[in-house]
A and B are shown apart, each in its own frame.
Chain A
Amino acid sequence: MTIHQLSIFLENRSGTLIKVLDCLKKSNIQIIASAIADTAQYGILRIICSDPRRAYLELEEAGIAVALSDVFAIELENKPGQAADAIKTFSDAGISITYMYSFLYGHQGILVFRTDNTDEAREVILRNRLNSVTEKDLEQLG
Protein backbone atom coordinates (compact mmCIF):
# COMPACT_ATOMS: atom_id res chain seq x y z
CA MET A 1 0.00 0.00 0.00
CA THR A 2 2.96 2.30 0.58
CA ILE A 3 6.12 2.96 -1.38
CA HIS A 4 9.52 4.17 -0.32
CA GLN A 5 10.37 7.81 -0.49
CA LEU A 6 13.73 9.44 0.16
CA SER A 7 13.75 12.71 2.09
CA ILE A 8 16.88 14.77 1.93
CA PHE A 9 17.79 17.79 4.03
CA LEU A 10 19.27 20.49 1.82
CA GLU A 11 20.77 23.73 2.99
CA ASN A 12 19.81 26.75 0.92
CA ARG A 13 23.10 27.29 -0.82
CA SER A 14 24.60 26.55 -4.14
CA GLY A 15 25.97 23.05 -4.58
CA THR A 16 23.84 21.08 -2.16
CA LEU A 17 21.27 19.83 -4.68
CA ILE A 18 23.82 18.84 -7.28
CA LYS A 19 25.70 16.79 -4.72
CA VAL A 20 22.58 14.66 -4.23
CA LEU A 21 21.81 14.37 -7.93
CA ASP A 22 25.42 13.49 -8.77
CA CYS A 23 25.39 10.76 -6.18
CA LEU A 24 22.22 9.23 -7.67
CA LYS A 25 23.63 9.55 -11.16
CA LYS A 26 26.85 7.76 -10.23
CA SER A 27 24.79 4.99 -8.65
CA ASN A 28 22.71 4.71 -11.81
CA ILE A 29 19.48 5.41 -9.95
CA GLN A 30 16.59 7.00 -11.78
CA ILE A 31 14.41 9.66 -10.23
CA ILE A 32 10.75 8.92 -10.93
CA ALA A 33 9.25 11.89 -9.14
CA SER A 34 10.46 14.64 -6.86
CA ALA A 35 9.19 17.58 -4.85
CA ILE A 36 10.87 20.14 -2.64
CA ALA A 37 9.43 21.62 0.53
CA ASP A 38 11.23 24.94 0.68
CA THR A 39 11.72 27.16 3.71
CA ALA A 40 13.76 30.31 4.19
CA GLN A 41 16.72 28.34 5.55
CA TYR A 42 16.63 24.93 3.99
CA GLY A 43 14.66 22.63 1.78
CA ILE A 44 13.53 19.04 2.03
CA LEU A 45 13.86 17.19 -1.22
CA ARG A 46 11.51 14.23 -1.58
CA ILE A 47 12.25 11.65 -4.18
CA ILE A 48 10.57 8.54 -5.56
CA CYS A 49 13.21 6.60 -7.42
CA SER A 50 14.24 3.23 -8.74
CA ASP A 51 15.89 1.12 -6.03
CA PRO A 52 15.23 3.42 -3.05
CA ARG A 53 17.04 1.18 -0.58
CA ARG A 54 20.28 1.28 -2.51
CA ALA A 55 19.83 5.03 -3.10
CA TYR A 56 19.43 5.53 0.64
CA LEU A 57 22.64 3.65 1.40
CA GLU A 58 24.60 5.50 -1.30
CA LEU A 59 23.40 8.92 -0.10
CA GLU A 60 24.06 8.08 3.51
CA GLU A 61 27.54 6.90 2.58
CA ALA A 62 28.10 10.28 0.90
CA GLY A 63 27.35 11.99 4.24
CA ILE A 64 24.00 13.40 3.15
CA ALA A 65 21.16 13.74 5.67
CA VAL A 66 18.70 11.32 4.14
CA ALA A 67 15.70 9.46 5.50
CA LEU A 68 13.85 6.55 4.01
CA SER A 69 10.14 6.68 4.71
CA ASP A 70 6.89 5.09 3.61
CA VAL A 71 4.35 7.19 1.76
CA PHE A 72 0.99 6.34 0.29
CA ALA A 73 0.79 6.25 -3.49
CA ILE A 74 -2.51 5.85 -5.26
CA GLU A 75 -3.21 5.53 -8.92
CA LEU A 76 -5.77 7.86 -10.50
CA GLU A 77 -7.30 8.02 -13.89
CA ASN A 78 -5.90 10.81 -15.99
CA LYS A 79 -8.99 13.01 -16.02
CA PRO A 80 -10.43 16.00 -14.09
CA GLY A 81 -11.76 15.59 -10.55
CA GLN A 82 -9.89 12.39 -9.68
CA ALA A 83 -7.63 13.96 -7.02
CA ALA A 84 -10.55 15.79 -5.45
CA ASP A 85 -12.57 12.58 -5.14
CA ALA A 86 -9.68 10.66 -3.66
CA ILE A 87 -8.66 13.30 -1.12
CA LYS A 88 -12.29 13.82 -0.06
CA THR A 89 -12.38 10.28 1.31
CA PHE A 90 -9.61 11.27 3.72
CA SER A 91 -11.06 14.62 4.73
CA ASP A 92 -14.42 12.90 5.35
CA ALA A 93 -12.60 10.59 7.76
CA GLY A 94 -11.02 13.56 9.52
CA ILE A 95 -7.52 12.77 8.27
CA SER A 96 -5.15 15.56 7.28
CA ILE A 97 -2.77 15.34 4.36
CA THR A 98 0.67 16.37 5.61
CA TYR A 99 2.09 16.81 2.14
CA MET A 100 1.33 15.66 -1.36
CA TYR A 101 2.74 15.64 -4.85
CA SER A 102 1.85 13.89 -8.04
CA PHE A 103 3.37 12.60 -11.21
CA LEU A 104 2.38 10.90 -14.40
CA TYR A 105 3.68 7.45 -14.94
CA GLY A 106 2.87 6.04 -18.32
CA HIS A 107 -0.72 7.17 -18.71
CA GLN A 108 -1.58 6.97 -15.04
CA GLY A 109 -1.62 9.78 -12.56
CA ILE A 110 0.08 8.85 -9.29
CA LEU A 111 -0.69 10.79 -6.13
CA VAL A 112 1.97 10.55 -3.40
CA PHE A 113 1.10 11.75 0.09
CA ARG A 114 1.54 11.37 3.78
CA THR A 115 -1.22 11.78 6.36
CA ASP A 116 -1.29 12.59 10.04
CA ASN A 117 -2.80 9.18 10.80
CA THR A 118 -1.26 6.29 8.91
CA ASP A 119 -3.41 3.54 10.39
CA GLU A 120 -6.73 5.21 9.65
CA ALA A 121 -5.54 6.24 6.22
CA ARG A 122 -4.89 2.58 5.45
CA GLU A 123 -8.47 1.76 6.37
CA VAL A 124 -9.82 4.60 4.27
CA ILE A 125 -7.88 3.30 1.28
CA LEU A 126 -9.22 -0.22 1.80
CA ARG A 127 -12.77 0.89 2.51
CA ASN A 128 -12.97 3.13 -0.55
CA ARG A 129 -11.09 0.66 -2.73
CA LEU A 130 -8.59 3.28 -3.77
CA ASN A 131 -6.08 1.87 -6.15
CA SER A 132 -2.81 1.95 -4.28
CA VAL A 133 0.46 1.49 -6.05
CA THR A 134 3.34 -0.75 -4.99
CA GLU A 135 6.98 -0.48 -5.87
CA LYS A 136 6.54 -3.47 -8.08
CA ASP A 137 3.80 -1.65 -9.98
CA LEU A 138 6.17 1.23 -10.55
CA GLU A 139 8.79 -1.13 -11.95
CA GLN A 140 6.25 -2.66 -14.33
CA LEU A 141 4.93 0.71 -15.41
CA GLY A 142 8.51 1.70 -16.21
Chain B
Amino acid sequence: MYWNPNKECMSRDEMSALQGKRLHKIVKYVYHNVPFYRNKLQEMDLTPDDILTIEDIVKLPFTTKQDLRDNYPFGLQAAPQSEIIRIHASSGTTGNPTIVGYTRKDIGVWSECMARALTAYGVVRDDIFSVSYGYGLFTGGLGAHNGVEMVGAAVVPASTGNTEKHAKLIRDLGISGIACTPSYALYLAETMEQLGITRDQIRLRVGAFGAEPWTANMRREIEERLGLKGYNLYGLSEIMGPSVSYECQLQNGSHVNEDHFFPEIIDPVTLAPLPAGQSGELVFTTLTKEGMPLLRYRTRDLCSLMPGVCDCGRTSVRMTPITGRSDDMLIIRGINVFPSQVESVVLDMKEIAPRYLLVVDRVNNLDTLQVQVELRQEYFTATFDTPAAIDELSRRLALKLRSVLNIGVKVVLKAPNTIERSQGKSAHVIDNRNIQ
Protein backbone atom coordinates (compact mmCIF):
# COMPACT_ATOMS: atom_id res chain seq x y z
CA MET B 1 0.00 0.00 0.00
CA TYR B 2 1.32 3.42 -0.95
CA TRP B 3 0.15 6.88 0.02
CA ASN B 4 1.66 8.57 -3.03
CA PRO B 5 2.81 5.93 -5.54
CA ASN B 6 3.78 8.60 -8.10
CA LYS B 7 6.56 9.75 -5.80
CA GLU B 8 7.28 6.62 -3.77
CA CYS B 9 7.69 4.44 -6.86
CA MET B 10 9.09 7.00 -9.29
CA SER B 11 11.74 5.76 -11.72
CA ARG B 12 15.30 6.71 -10.87
CA ASP B 13 15.66 8.99 -13.90
CA GLU B 14 12.48 10.86 -13.10
CA MET B 15 13.45 11.18 -9.43
CA SER B 16 16.93 12.52 -10.29
CA ALA B 17 15.42 15.02 -12.70
CA LEU B 18 12.90 16.15 -10.09
CA GLN B 19 15.58 16.43 -7.42
CA GLY B 20 17.84 18.45 -9.75
CA LYS B 21 15.06 20.86 -10.57
CA ARG B 22 14.12 21.26 -6.91
CA LEU B 23 17.74 21.67 -5.84
CA HIS B 24 18.31 24.49 -8.30
CA LYS B 25 15.17 26.18 -7.06
CA ILE B 26 16.01 25.85 -3.37
CA VAL B 27 19.56 27.13 -3.89
CA LYS B 28 18.18 30.14 -5.71
CA TYR B 29 15.66 30.64 -2.90
CA VAL B 30 18.22 30.58 -0.07
CA TYR B 31 20.67 32.67 -2.11
CA HIS B 32 18.13 35.46 -2.25
CA ASN B 33 16.60 35.04 1.20
CA VAL B 34 19.27 33.83 3.65
CA PRO B 35 22.36 36.09 3.98
CA PHE B 36 24.25 33.20 5.63
CA TYR B 37 23.96 31.07 2.48
CA ARG B 38 24.46 33.97 0.08
CA ASN B 39 27.77 34.79 1.79
CA LYS B 40 28.87 31.15 1.80
CA LEU B 41 28.08 30.66 -1.89
CA GLN B 42 29.74 33.92 -2.82
CA GLU B 43 32.86 32.97 -0.87
CA MET B 44 32.97 29.77 -2.94
CA ASP B 45 32.34 31.72 -6.09
CA LEU B 46 29.07 29.92 -6.72
CA THR B 47 25.78 31.22 -8.03
CA PRO B 48 22.48 29.33 -8.18
CA ASP B 49 23.07 28.76 -11.88
CA ASP B 50 26.06 26.58 -11.07
CA ILE B 51 23.67 24.12 -9.42
CA LEU B 52 21.44 22.66 -12.12
CA THR B 53 21.40 18.91 -11.56
CA ILE B 54 21.34 16.78 -8.42
CA GLU B 55 24.96 15.75 -9.12
CA ASP B 56 25.95 19.40 -8.61
CA ILE B 57 25.02 19.09 -4.94
CA VAL B 58 28.61 18.17 -4.04
CA LYS B 59 29.69 21.73 -4.92
CA LEU B 60 27.54 23.18 -2.13
CA PRO B 61 28.78 24.06 1.33
CA PHE B 62 27.80 22.05 4.40
CA THR B 63 25.61 23.32 7.21
CA THR B 64 26.27 22.27 10.81
CA LYS B 65 24.42 22.39 14.11
CA GLN B 66 26.86 25.14 15.11
CA ASP B 67 25.69 27.24 12.16
CA LEU B 68 22.14 26.89 13.49
CA ARG B 69 23.24 27.96 16.95
CA ASP B 70 25.30 30.87 15.63
CA ASN B 71 22.26 32.13 13.75
CA TYR B 72 19.87 31.72 16.66
CA PRO B 73 16.97 32.24 16.56
CA PHE B 74 15.82 33.19 13.05
CA GLY B 75 19.04 33.74 11.10
CA LEU B 76 18.53 30.77 8.78
CA GLN B 77 14.83 31.33 8.26
CA ALA B 78 14.12 31.99 4.60
CA ALA B 79 10.39 32.72 4.65
CA PRO B 80 9.01 36.00 5.97
CA GLN B 81 7.62 35.75 9.49
CA SER B 82 4.07 36.24 8.21
CA GLU B 83 4.33 32.89 6.36
CA ILE B 84 5.48 30.93 9.41
CA ILE B 85 2.62 29.07 11.11
CA ARG B 86 4.53 26.91 13.59
CA ILE B 87 7.82 26.99 15.47
CA HIS B 88 9.48 23.97 17.06
CA ALA B 89 12.61 24.03 19.19
CA SER B 90 14.97 21.15 19.76
CA SER B 91 16.52 20.65 23.15
CA GLY B 92 19.95 22.18 23.30
CA THR B 93 22.03 20.30 25.84
CA THR B 94 24.81 22.76 25.14
CA GLY B 95 24.30 26.27 23.83
CA ASN B 96 21.19 27.64 22.19
CA PRO B 97 18.29 25.42 21.22
CA THR B 98 17.62 24.95 17.52
CA ILE B 99 14.62 26.91 16.31
CA VAL B 100 12.76 25.64 13.25
CA GLY B 101 9.91 27.59 11.66
CA TYR B 102 7.43 25.90 9.30
CA THR B 103 5.22 27.49 6.65
CA ARG B 104 1.77 26.11 5.88
CA LYS B 105 3.25 24.28 2.91
CA ASP B 106 6.00 22.79 5.11
CA ILE B 107 3.40 21.40 7.51
CA GLY B 108 1.57 19.95 4.50
CA VAL B 109 4.72 18.24 3.17
CA TRP B 110 5.51 16.94 6.64
CA SER B 111 1.99 15.54 7.06
CA GLU B 112 2.23 13.82 3.69
CA CYS B 113 5.63 12.30 4.50
CA MET B 114 4.17 11.00 7.76
CA ALA B 115 1.12 9.68 5.89
CA ARG B 116 3.43 7.80 3.52
CA ALA B 117 5.16 6.22 6.52
CA LEU B 118 1.91 5.25 8.23
CA THR B 119 0.52 3.80 5.01
CA ALA B 120 3.70 1.75 4.56
CA TYR B 121 3.16 0.43 8.09
CA GLY B 122 -0.37 -0.61 7.09
CA VAL B 123 -2.30 2.09 8.96
CA VAL B 124 -5.73 2.77 7.41
CA ARG B 125 -8.78 4.98 8.11
CA ASP B 126 -10.33 2.38 10.41
CA ASP B 127 -7.39 2.41 12.79
CA ILE B 128 -7.35 4.08 16.17
CA PHE B 129 -3.83 5.39 16.54
CA SER B 130 -2.18 6.63 19.67
CA VAL B 131 0.60 9.21 19.40
CA SER B 132 2.79 8.82 22.46
CA TYR B 133 5.68 11.01 21.50
CA GLY B 134 5.83 14.15 23.60
CA TYR B 135 3.60 16.92 22.32
CA GLY B 136 5.20 20.33 22.50
CA LEU B 137 8.39 21.92 21.30
CA PHE B 138 9.63 18.45 20.33
CA THR B 139 8.60 17.59 16.77
CA GLY B 140 7.62 13.99 17.56
CA GLY B 141 4.11 14.47 18.92
CA LEU B 142 2.62 17.01 16.52
CA GLY B 143 4.55 15.59 13.56
CA ALA B 144 3.08 12.12 13.96
CA HIS B 145 -0.31 13.60 14.87
CA ASN B 146 -0.70 15.48 11.58
CA GLY B 147 0.16 12.35 9.61
CA VAL B 148 -2.42 10.21 11.38
CA GLU B 149 -5.07 12.84 10.71
CA MET B 150 -4.06 13.00 7.07
CA VAL B 151 -4.42 9.22 6.70
CA GLY B 152 -7.84 9.55 8.30
CA ALA B 153 -7.32 7.22 11.23
CA ALA B 154 -8.54 8.38 14.63
CA VAL B 155 -5.69 9.93 16.53
CA VAL B 156 -5.45 9.54 20.29
CA PRO B 157 -3.04 12.28 21.41
CA ALA B 158 -1.81 10.36 24.44
CA SER B 159 1.57 12.11 24.56
CA THR B 160 3.89 10.82 27.29
CA GLY B 161 3.19 10.36 30.99
CA ASN B 162 0.14 8.83 32.65
CA THR B 163 1.11 5.46 31.25
CA GLU B 164 -1.45 3.50 33.31
CA LYS B 165 -4.33 5.46 31.84
CA HIS B 166 -2.82 5.03 28.41
CA ALA B 167 -2.52 1.27 28.88
CA LYS B 168 -6.20 1.07 29.83
CA LEU B 169 -7.19 3.14 26.80
CA ILE B 170 -5.22 0.81 24.55
CA ARG B 171 -7.29 -2.06 25.89
CA ASP B 172 -10.67 -0.34 26.16
CA LEU B 173 -10.63 1.57 22.85
CA GLY B 174 -9.01 -1.23 20.88
CA ILE B 175 -6.16 1.06 19.86
CA SER B 176 -4.44 -0.61 16.90
CA GLY B 177 -1.41 1.59 16.30
CA ILE B 178 1.07 3.52 18.39
CA ALA B 179 3.92 5.95 17.74
CA CYS B 180 6.45 6.36 20.53
CA THR B 181 10.09 5.83 21.43
CA PRO B 182 11.16 2.18 21.65
CA SER B 183 12.04 2.59 25.32
CA TYR B 184 8.56 3.97 26.03
CA ALA B 185 7.08 0.94 24.24
CA LEU B 186 8.93 -1.35 26.64
CA TYR B 187 7.83 0.74 29.60
CA LEU B 188 4.26 0.53 28.35
CA ALA B 189 4.56 -3.27 28.04
CA GLU B 190 5.77 -3.44 31.64
CA THR B 191 2.95 -1.22 32.84
CA MET B 192 0.41 -3.42 31.06
CA GLU B 193 1.85 -6.52 32.67
CA GLN B 194 1.62 -4.87 36.09
CA LEU B 195 -2.00 -3.96 35.43
CA GLY B 196 -2.74 -7.51 34.34
CA ILE B 197 -3.55 -6.46 30.78
CA THR B 198 -2.71 -9.41 28.56
CA ARG B 199 -1.86 -9.60 24.89
CA ASP B 200 -5.21 -11.14 23.97
CA GLN B 201 -7.00 -8.15 25.52
CA ILE B 202 -5.31 -5.61 23.25
CA ARG B 203 -5.44 -5.04 19.51
CA LEU B 204 -2.15 -3.27 18.86
CA ARG B 205 -0.95 -4.15 15.38
CA VAL B 206 1.43 -1.39 14.29
CA GLY B 207 4.19 0.42 16.15
CA ALA B 208 6.06 3.44 14.73
CA PHE B 209 9.23 3.71 16.75
CA GLY B 210 11.92 6.34 16.53
CA ALA B 211 13.65 9.34 18.09
CA GLU B 212 16.30 7.14 19.70
CA PRO B 213 18.49 4.25 18.59
CA TRP B 214 17.16 0.74 19.13
CA THR B 215 18.54 -2.69 18.44
CA ALA B 216 17.20 -5.73 16.65
CA ASN B 217 16.80 -7.40 20.05
CA MET B 218 14.73 -4.50 21.33
CA ARG B 219 12.52 -4.77 18.26
CA ARG B 220 11.96 -8.48 18.87
CA GLU B 221 11.18 -7.86 22.52
CA ILE B 222 8.71 -5.04 21.81
CA GLU B 223 7.01 -7.02 19.04
CA GLU B 224 6.70 -10.05 21.28
CA ARG B 225 5.43 -8.24 24.36
CA LEU B 226 2.97 -5.91 22.63
CA GLY B 227 1.97 -8.31 19.86
CA LEU B 228 2.56 -5.79 17.07
CA LYS B 229 4.94 -5.24 14.18
CA GLY B 230 7.41 -2.47 14.97
CA TYR B 231 8.66 -0.15 12.25
CA ASN B 232 11.47 2.34 12.31
CA LEU B 233 10.53 6.00 11.90
CA TYR B 234 13.46 8.33 11.40
CA GLY B 235 13.61 12.06 11.47
CA LEU B 236 15.28 15.10 12.91
CA SER B 237 13.79 18.45 13.72
CA GLU B 238 16.38 20.47 11.79
CA ILE B 239 15.24 18.78 8.57
CA MET B 240 11.55 18.29 9.41
CA GLY B 241 10.78 15.93 12.28
CA PRO B 242 9.65 12.30 12.20
CA SER B 243 9.09 10.79 8.72
CA VAL B 244 12.26 11.87 6.96
CA SER B 245 12.48 8.13 6.37
CA TYR B 246 10.37 5.09 7.28
CA GLU B 247 10.44 1.32 7.02
CA CYS B 248 8.08 -0.65 4.82
CA GLN B 249 6.59 -4.09 5.54
CA LEU B 250 9.95 -5.69 4.76
CA GLN B 251 11.61 -3.89 7.70
CA ASN B 252 14.84 -3.79 5.75
CA GLY B 253 16.10 -0.23 5.81
CA SER B 254 14.14 3.01 5.97
CA HIS B 255 12.83 4.57 2.75
CA VAL B 256 13.90 8.20 2.52
CA ASN B 257 11.30 10.70 1.31
CA GLU B 258 13.96 11.75 -1.14
CA ASP B 259 11.77 13.97 -3.28
CA HIS B 260 11.83 16.29 -0.24
CA PHE B 261 15.01 15.38 1.64
CA PHE B 262 18.06 14.47 -0.42
CA PRO B 263 20.45 12.17 1.45
CA GLU B 264 24.20 11.86 1.05
CA ILE B 265 26.81 9.90 2.97
CA ILE B 266 30.16 11.60 3.60
CA ASP B 267 33.40 10.74 5.32
CA PRO B 268 33.12 12.67 8.61
CA VAL B 269 36.84 13.50 8.53
CA THR B 270 37.59 14.39 4.91
CA LEU B 271 33.97 15.42 4.16
CA ALA B 272 34.28 13.63 0.81
CA PRO B 273 31.07 12.01 -0.49
CA LEU B 274 31.15 8.22 -0.14
CA PRO B 275 29.77 5.73 -2.66
CA ALA B 276 26.48 3.98 -1.94
CA GLY B 277 26.76 1.15 0.52
CA GLN B 278 29.65 2.65 2.44
CA SER B 279 29.03 3.75 6.00
CA GLY B 280 29.59 7.36 6.97
CA GLU B 281 27.85 10.51 8.15
CA LEU B 282 24.36 11.16 6.86
CA VAL B 283 23.80 14.57 5.25
CA PHE B 284 20.43 15.99 4.18
CA THR B 285 19.44 18.80 1.86
CA THR B 286 15.83 19.94 2.10
CA LEU B 287 14.58 20.20 -1.48
CA THR B 288 11.20 21.80 -0.89
CA LYS B 289 11.26 23.44 2.51
CA GLU B 290 10.21 27.08 2.76
CA GLY B 291 10.55 27.98 6.44
CA MET B 292 14.11 26.97 7.14
CA PRO B 293 15.68 25.19 4.15
CA LEU B 294 19.08 23.66 4.83
CA LEU B 295 21.82 22.77 2.36
CA ARG B 296 23.85 19.66 3.11
CA TYR B 297 23.03 19.57 6.80
CA ARG B 298 25.41 17.27 8.68
CA THR B 299 23.19 15.11 10.87
CA ARG B 300 26.19 13.49 12.69
CA ASP B 301 24.22 10.25 12.39
CA LEU B 302 26.19 7.35 10.96
CA CYS B 303 24.63 4.89 8.53
CA SER B 304 24.83 3.83 4.90
CA LEU B 305 22.44 4.13 1.96
CA MET B 306 20.91 1.23 0.07
CA PRO B 307 19.96 2.18 -3.49
CA GLY B 308 17.80 -0.02 -5.69
CA VAL B 309 14.17 -1.03 -5.89
CA CYS B 310 12.77 -2.56 -2.72
CA ASP B 311 10.64 -5.71 -2.82
CA CYS B 312 7.76 -3.52 -1.60
CA GLY B 313 7.87 -1.73 -4.95
CA ARG B 314 9.20 1.56 -3.63
CA THR B 315 12.13 2.96 -5.57
CA SER B 316 13.21 5.44 -2.90
CA VAL B 317 16.68 4.96 -1.47
CA ARG B 318 16.81 3.27 1.94
CA MET B 319 19.06 4.06 4.87
CA THR B 320 20.36 1.43 7.29
CA PRO B 321 19.72 1.83 11.02
CA ILE B 322 21.84 4.52 12.65
CA THR B 323 24.95 2.93 14.08
CA GLY B 324 26.40 5.94 15.85
CA ARG B 325 27.17 9.62 16.02
CA SER B 326 30.16 11.14 14.29
CA ASP B 327 30.70 13.84 16.93
CA ASP B 328 31.80 11.30 19.53
CA MET B 329 34.41 9.87 17.21
CA LEU B 330 37.75 8.68 18.53
CA ILE B 331 40.69 7.93 16.29
CA ILE B 332 42.47 4.86 17.57
CA ARG B 333 45.43 3.50 15.63
CA GLY B 334 44.19 5.58 12.74
CA ILE B 335 40.78 3.94 12.75
CA ASN B 336 37.61 5.88 13.45
CA VAL B 337 35.85 4.47 16.48
CA PHE B 338 32.44 5.60 17.64
CA PRO B 339 31.32 4.91 21.21
CA SER B 340 27.86 4.21 19.88
CA GLN B 341 29.25 1.28 17.90
CA VAL B 342 30.32 -0.19 21.22
CA GLU B 343 26.93 0.68 22.63
CA SER B 344 25.12 -1.22 19.88
CA VAL B 345 27.11 -4.36 20.70
CA VAL B 346 26.69 -3.93 24.45
CA LEU B 347 22.94 -3.40 24.16
CA ASP B 348 22.66 -6.63 22.21
CA MET B 349 24.31 -8.83 24.84
CA LYS B 350 21.90 -9.88 27.51
CA GLU B 351 24.57 -10.97 29.97
CA ILE B 352 25.90 -7.47 30.45
CA ALA B 353 24.31 -4.24 31.64
CA PRO B 354 23.62 -1.45 29.11
CA ARG B 355 26.57 0.61 30.33
CA TYR B 356 30.17 0.82 29.24
CA LEU B 357 33.33 2.80 29.62
CA LEU B 358 35.99 3.13 26.95
CA VAL B 359 39.54 3.66 28.17
CA VAL B 360 41.97 4.72 25.48
CA ASP B 361 45.66 4.66 26.24
CA ARG B 362 48.98 4.71 24.46
CA VAL B 363 51.46 2.00 25.40
CA ASN B 364 54.85 1.95 23.63
CA ASN B 365 53.50 4.33 21.00
CA LEU B 366 50.59 2.02 20.29
CA ASP B 367 47.02 3.02 21.03
CA THR B 368 45.06 0.58 23.13
CA LEU B 369 41.34 0.39 23.69
CA GLN B 370 39.85 -1.15 26.76
CA VAL B 371 36.12 -1.67 26.96
CA GLN B 372 34.77 -1.98 30.47
CA VAL B 373 31.36 -3.54 30.88
CA GLU B 374 29.30 -4.73 33.80
CA LEU B 375 28.09 -8.25 34.38
CA ARG B 376 24.37 -8.31 35.00
CA GLN B 377 23.63 -9.60 38.46
CA GLU B 378 20.86 -11.85 37.20
CA TYR B 379 23.14 -13.53 34.66
CA PHE B 380 25.78 -14.46 37.19
CA THR B 381 24.17 -17.79 37.93
CA ALA B 382 25.08 -21.31 38.92
CA THR B 383 26.08 -22.21 35.37
CA PHE B 384 28.10 -19.04 34.98
CA ASP B 385 30.31 -19.10 38.05
CA THR B 386 33.55 -20.33 36.53
CA PRO B 387 36.40 -18.43 34.88
CA ALA B 388 35.83 -20.59 31.80
CA ALA B 389 32.27 -19.30 31.37
CA ILE B 390 33.15 -15.70 32.17
CA ASP B 391 36.19 -15.68 29.89
CA GLU B 392 34.05 -17.16 27.13
CA LEU B 393 31.70 -14.18 27.50
CA SER B 394 34.68 -11.76 27.39
CA ARG B 395 36.00 -13.45 24.29
CA ARG B 396 32.62 -13.42 22.58
CA LEU B 397 32.22 -9.72 23.35
CA ALA B 398 35.77 -8.93 22.21
CA LEU B 399 35.17 -10.76 18.92
CA LYS B 400 31.92 -8.91 18.29
CA LEU B 401 33.54 -5.58 19.10
CA ARG B 402 36.46 -6.38 16.87
CA SER B 403 34.22 -7.16 13.93
CA VAL B 404 32.26 -3.94 14.44
CA LEU B 405 35.17 -1.60 15.23
CA ASN B 406 37.87 -3.21 13.09
CA ILE B 407 40.38 -2.95 15.89
CA GLY B 408 41.27 -5.32 18.69
CA VAL B 409 39.95 -4.42 22.11
CA LYS B 410 40.54 -5.60 25.61
CA VAL B 411 37.30 -6.41 27.39
CA VAL B 412 37.20 -5.93 31.15
CA LEU B 413 34.23 -7.39 32.95
CA LYS B 414 33.27 -5.46 36.05
CA ALA B 415 30.98 -6.32 38.93
CA PRO B 416 27.39 -5.03 38.72
CA ASN B 417 26.79 -1.34 39.39
CA THR B 418 30.45 -0.35 39.37
CA ILE B 419 30.46 1.72 36.19
CA GLU B 420 29.17 5.20 36.86
CA ARG B 421 25.88 6.08 35.22
CA SER B 422 27.01 8.68 32.77
CA GLN B 423 25.38 12.00 32.16
CA GLY B 424 26.01 12.88 28.53
CA LYS B 425 28.10 11.23 25.91
CA SER B 426 31.67 12.18 26.76
CA ALA B 427 31.38 10.43 30.10
CA HIS B 428 31.58 7.10 28.25
CA VAL B 429 35.20 7.74 27.31
CA ILE B 430 38.45 8.22 29.18
CA ASP B 431 41.27 9.12 26.84
CA ASN B 432 44.60 8.86 28.63
CA ARG B 433 46.68 9.62 25.57
CA ASN B 434 48.59 12.87 25.84
CA ILE B 435 48.73 13.82 22.24
CA GLN B 436 50.04 17.32 21.69
Real binding pair? yes
Asked if residues A44 and B391 are in contact (CB atoms below 8 Å), the reply is no
Known: A9-B375, A67-B380. A44 touches B412 (CB 8 A): no
- Tell me if A7 is interfacial: C-beta within 8 Å of chain B: yes
Q: Is the CB of B387 within 8 A of A44?
A: yes
**Contact present for B382 and A42 (CB under 8 Å):** no
B381-409 interface with A by 8 A CB criterion: 381-388, 390-391
Residues of B within 8 A of A41 (CB): 412-413
In A55-82, which residues have CB < 8 Å from any B CB? 60, 63-70
* CB neighbours of B375 from chain A (8 A): 9, 65
The reply to whether A16 and B386 form a contact with Cβ atoms under 8 Å apart is no
Q: B29-58 vs A: 1/0 string, CB under 8 Å?
A: 000000000000000000000000000000
**Assembled-state Cα–Cα distance A63/B418 (Å):** 10
Contact A44 B416 (CB under 8 A): no
- Contact partners of A44 in chain B: CB under 8 A: 385-387, 390
A99/B415 in contact, CB under 8 A: no
- Whether B385 lies near A7 (C-beta < 8 A) is yes
Alpha-carbon distance between A135 and B413 when the two chains are bound, in angstroms: 33
Cβ distance B395 to chain A, nearest Cβ, rounded Å: 13
A interface residue count range (under 10 / 10 to 19 / 20 to 34 / 35 or more): 20 to 34
Contact A99 B386, beta carbon cutoff 8 Å: yes
Asked if A39 and B416 sit within 8 Å, CB to CB, the answer is no
Contacting residues, chain A, for B382 (C-beta < 8 A): 7, 67-70
* B422 beta carbon closer than 8 Å to chain A: no
Chain A nearest Cβ from B387, distance in angstroms = 5
Q: How large is the interface on B (under 10, 10 to 19, 20 to 34, 35 or more residues)?
A: 20 to 34
Q: Determine the distance from Cα of A10 to Cα of B416 in the docked complex, in whole angstroms.
A: 10
Contact A39 B387 (CB under 8 A): yes
Output the nearest chain B residue to A114 by Cβ-Cβ distance: B386
- Considering the complex, give the chain B residue whose CB is closest to the CB of A4: B382
Complex Cα spacing A140 to B164, Å: 53
> What are the residues of chain B within 8 A of A37 when measuring CB–CB?
386-387
Closest to B418 in A: A11
Distance between Cα atoms of A66 and B378 in the complex (Å): 9
| A98 at the B interface (CB under 8 A) | yes
| Chain A proximity mask over B307-333: 1 for CB below 8 Å, otherwise 0 | 000000000000000000000000000
Q: Which residues of B contact A68 (CB under 8 A)?
A: 382
If A37-B387, A41-B412 touch, whether A63 touches B380 (CB-CB below 8 Å) is no
In the complex, the answer to whether B385 meets A42 with C-beta atoms within 8 Å is no
Shortest beta-carbon distance, B385 to chain A, in Å?
Answer: 3
A99-B389 Cα distance, complex, nearest whole Å: 13
Q: B residues touching A (Cβ–Cβ < 8 Å)?
A: 375, 377, 380-388, 390-391, 412-418
Instruction: Report A's interface with B, CB cutoff 8 A.
Output: 7, 9-11, 16, 37, 39, 41-42, 44, 46, 60, 63-70, 98-99
Pairs across A and B, CB under 8 Å, 28 listed: A7-B380, A7-B382, A9-B380, A9-B390, A9-B415, A10-B415, A11-B415, A11-B418, A37-B386, A37-B387, A39-B391, A41-B412, A41-B413, A42-B413, A44-B386, A44-B387, A60-B377, A63-B416, A65-B375, A65-B377, A65-B415, A65-B416, A66-B380, A67-B380, A67-B384, A69-B381, A69-B382, A98-B388
